[in-house]
A and B are shown apart, each in its own frame.
Chain A
Amino acid sequence: IAGITQAPTSQILAAGRRMTLRCTQDMRHNAMYWYRQDLGLGLRLIHYSNTAGTTGKGEVPDGYSVSRANTDDFPLTLASAVPSQTSVYFCASSASQEVNTEAFFGQGTRLTVV
């Protein structure tokens, strides 16, 4: 089934540990995004990529890094996790970053940092 896949589904992580959240899409979409969703704050953009080989910072990029080596994959890395990074993380993709292209979301990764 075509779509966007995230892994893991959930994770409990000790503070200070390094963690990579995986995101893969098979729709050949150019644009990919990482959001975190916290109660009362909605979805906030962490990092984005408009095309393979390029990335940009979103609203809340500190403590996170991304790479876009190819069209399909867009991993998000927490170099040294802190409790404030406890959240639900959504990866999304769209055909392009321009107008009139809806974003498709993965099922999310629930991360708890203790």
Chain B
Amino acid sequence: GQNIDQPTEMTATEGAIVQINCTYQTSGFNGLFWYQQHAGEAPTFLSYNVLDGLEEKGRFSSFLSRSKGYSYLLLKELQMKDSASYLCAVNNDYKLSFGAGTTVTVRA
């Protein structure tokens, strides 16, 4: 089985930085994904980590520590369009399992 936890909501100001944490417990680990989902839309891929460390893609970075069962998604230079739900997902025994998602609200 798996247990994936992330905060329910976060609020930040335009131009700021926000860090979304994700902890997981799985019986088998084959990588961790972050997805973005705007209200009423489908999830879209943001990042992938399978080895420990930081992966940077423009304004978004994702970090993984397999020994701690921990990841975070870092959103820099926040823009209004970044207001969305961010989903942590673990490839567990080759099935993708999702956390409940973190709703990020960016204020002007």
Contacts and interface: CB of A to CB of B under 8 A. Distances in A.
A47 to B, nearest CB: 10
A45 B99 contact: no
A50 interface: yes
A44 B44 CA distance: 16
A103 interface: yes
A106 interface: yes
B45 A42 contact: no
Contacts of A45: 95-97
A74 interface: no
Interface string B95-106: 111111100000
Interface in B47-105: 48, 50, 87, 89, 91, 94-101
Nearest to A43: B98
Interface residues of B, number: 21
B36 to A, nearest CB: 11
A102 B94 contact: no
B43 A50 contact: no
Interface string B3-32: 000000000000000000000000000110
Contact of A107 (B42, B48, B96): B42
B100 A41 contact: yes
A62 interface: no
Nearest to A6: B42
A35 B43 CA distance: 11
A100 interface: yes
A53 interface: no
B33 A102 contact: yes
Given A99-B91, A100-B31, 5 more contacts: A42-B101, A58-B95, A98-B30, A99-B31, A100-B50
17 contacts: A40-B100, A42-B100, A42-B101, A43-B89, A45-B96, A58-B95, A59-B97, A94-B96, A97-B94, A97-B95, A98-B30, A100-B48, A102-B48, A103-B45, A107-B41, A107-B42, A108-B42
Interface of B: 30-31, 33, 41-45, 48, 50, 87, 89, 91, 94-101
